[in-house]
Amino acid sequence: MSFKVQLTAQLQANKLPHAILLHGPIGSGKTALAHWLTSVLACHQPEFNGAEINACQHCKACLLIKSQTYPDHLTLMSHGASLGVDDIRHANSFLEKTAQLGGYKTVLIPDAQAMTIAAANALLKTLEEPSKNSLLILMVRDMDMLLPTIISRCHVLSIRSVVGKALLEKLGSQALAHGDTLKSEENFYNLTHLAELTDSEVYQDYIEFRQQYIAFLHGQTSEHNLLQQALQTPHAIRWLEKITCNLLRQAQWPQNDKQTDTAEINLSIEVFNQLYKVIIKHTKVIKSYTQSNEQFVVEQLLMALNDIVKSSTRR
Ligand SMILES: [Zn+2]
């Protein structure tokens, strides 16, 4: 089910969450989805198109949104700096006031990872005691940059762009040149309900696994150590795919990610491409054979990753 259909149903049932966390890489359509939702909530005569609701584009609210003067929405921009306590307090008091046009109050924080710890703690209060008819939308590229306490209080929508599904072919054709953001509003894939997003123990495993994998890419830990950790989790291959996909994204758009891990990993985009391809290949092997021995596939995959990392550092 697409996110728009899912959110439309929640809206109709009057069950829209008070806080939504949109998680996904650059170009995955987070912004488009956030704008769609805030304009639908603002619109006085939203229209139905099948199971999907859309803003009418011509009522008073829609016109105010177009001219960026809609009074009941606030976009909290970080402008490359961090978001501090005062920024969050401003958003909190904005949400507490009654809507001028009588509908929803919405706040969008496009760079949620820019919040300082103090700011995140200030936000927690709002998340715990949301005002009526208010919606807070946070956007983040990398869940690891948010406090777990924030994540657990939000309804998480994890978006994947065409990358996961079709990057392989794209990479083959070298279509992923710099700046190709693969933007498409229709390419929302629902990855919500992943164990690491809902279970704090699995989340901790994920963080440790990620550290180990990054250390492995640095050449600071052995394939054997990574394998030991990989065999302890049923999510190893999916996590390898997810982390590598994020690293590849960061390597491609370093100007957009100030706090990157790739800055320290001395591997080229081409090497990340190779790693990603080999992970996808093994993911397909796992999925195509019901009888496949998962441990064997994980071992084979790590050997292949090791070969790539080793040969890249030899050059
Ligand atoms: Zn309208």
pLDDT tens, residue by residue, 6-16: 999 999 888 89
Instruction: Output 237 or 188, whichever has higher pLDDT.
Output: 237
Report the percent of the chain where pLDDT is more than 90: 37
Instruction: Give the dihedral sign, CA 259/265/269/272.
Output: negative
Residue 314 Cα to ligand 1 middle (Å): 60
Domain range holding 210?
A: 198-314
Residues 13 and 147 in one domain: yes
Q: Count CB neighbours of 269 within 10 A.
A: 16
Residue 159 Cα to ligand 1 middle (Å): 26
Residue 63 Cα to ligand 1 middle (Å): 7
Residues 216 and 299 in one domain: yes
Report residue 93 as tokens.
């008091």
Q: Could you give the angle at the alpha carbon of 3 between the alpha carbons of 153 and 9, nearest 5°?
A: 85
Report which secondary-structure segment, H or E, holds 20: strand 19-23
Reply yes or no on whether the pLDDT at 45 is more than 60.
yes
Confidence of residue 161 (pLDDT cuts 50, 70, 90): low
Residue 61 Cα to ligand 1 middle (Å): 6
Residues 84 and 179 in one domain: yes
What's the whole-number average pLDDT of the chain? 81
Residue 75 Cα to ligand 1 middle (Å): 19
Residue 156 Cα to ligand 1 middle (Å): 27
Q: What is the pLDDT of residue 189?
A: 45
Instruction: Output 197 or 282, whichever has higher pLDDT.
Output: 282
Q: What is the pLDDT of residue 254?
A: 62
Residues 151 and 221 in one domain: no
Report residue 188 as tokens.
């929302």
- Answer whether 190's CB lies under 8 Å from 2's CB: yes
Domain count, the chain: 2
Q: What is the pLDDT of residue 52?
A: 92
Instruction: Output 199 or 173, whichever has higher pLDDT.
Output: 199
Q: What is the pLDDT of residue 171?
A: 45
Reply yes or no on whether the pLDDT at 211 is more than 70.
yes
Instruction: Output 54 or 247, whichever has higher pLDDT.
Output: 54
Report the percent of the chain where pLDDT is more than 70: 81
Residue 55 Cα to ligand 1 middle (Å): 5
Residue 45 Cα to ligand 1 middle (Å): 5
Confidence of residue 176 (pLDDT cuts 50, 70, 90): very low
Residue 250 CA to residue 253 CA, distance in Å, equals 5
Q: Which of 192, 211, 232 is the last residue of a domain?
A: 192
Q: What is the pLDDT of residue 172?
A: 43
Residue 74 Cα to ligand 1 middle (Å): 18
21, 24, 29, 34 alpha-carbon torsion, rounded to 10° = 10
Dihedrals phi, psi of 207, to nearest 5 degrees: -60, -45
Mean pLDDT of 23-46: 89
Confidence of residue 313 (pLDDT cuts 50, 70, 90): confident
Residue 137 Cα to ligand 1 middle (Å): 20
Mean pLDDT of 112-129: 90
- Give the CATH number, domain containing residue 69: 3.40.50.300
Residue 56 Cα to ligand 1 middle (Å): 4
Q: Which of 192, 218, 248 is the last residue of a domain?
A: 192
Residues 54 and 154 in one domain: yes
Residues 186 and 206 in one domain: no
Q: What is the pLDDT of residue 291?
A: 56
Mean pLDDT of 56-70: 93
Q: What is the pLDDT of residue 147?
A: 83
Residues 185 and 286 in one domain: no
Residue 157 CA to residue 140 CA, distance in Å, equals 10
Residues 87 and 215 in one domain: no
Pinpoint the alpha helices (H) of 129-235: 148-152, 162-172, 195-198, 200-218, 223-230
Residue 62 Cα to ligand 1 middle (Å): 4
Residues 218 and 310 in one domain: yes
Residue 243 CA to residue 261 CA, distance in Å, equals 10
Taking the CA atoms of the chain, what radius of gyration do you get in angstroms?
21
Mean pLDDT of 140-144: 82
- Give the CATH number, domain containing residue 235: 1.20.272
Q: What is the pLDDT of residue 219?
A: 87
Residue 131 Cα to ligand 1 middle (Å): 24
Residue 160 Cα to ligand 1 middle (Å): 29
- For residue 144, which of 41, 229, 90, 214 has the smallest C-alpha distance? 214
- Answer whether 200's CB lies under 8 Å from 148's CB: yes
Q: What is the pLDDT of residue 159?
A: 80
Confidence of residue 181 (pLDDT cuts 50, 70, 90): very low
Ion ligand 1 contact residues with beta carbon within 5 A: 43, 55-56, 59, 62
Residue 40 Cα to ligand 1 middle (Å): 8
Q: What is the pLDDT of residue 209?
A: 92
Residues 79 and 11 in one domain: yes
Residue 148 Cα to ligand 1 middle (Å): 36
Residues 129 and 56 in one domain: yes
Reply yes or no on whether the pLDDT at 24 is more than 80.
yes
Report residue 117 as tokens.
């710890």
Mean pLDDT of 56-64: 94
Residues 20 and 52 in one domain: yes
DSSP assignment of the chain: --HHHHHHHHHHTT---SEEEEE--TTSSHHHHHHHHHHHHH-SS-EEETTEEE--SSSHHHHHHHTT--TTEEE---TTS-B-HHHHHHHHHHHHSPPTTSS-EEEEETTGGGB-HHHHHHHHHHHHSPPTTEEEEEEES-GGGS-HHHHHTSEEEEEE-HHHHHHHHHHHTT---TT-----TT--EE-TT-HHHH-HHHHHHHHHHHHHHHHHHHTSS-HHHHHHHHTT-TTHHHHHHHHHHHHHHHHH-GGG-SS-STTTS---HHHHHHHHHHHHHHHHHHHH-TT--HHHHHHHHHHHHHHHHHHHHH-
Q: Which of 151, 176, 192 is the last residue of a domain?
A: 192
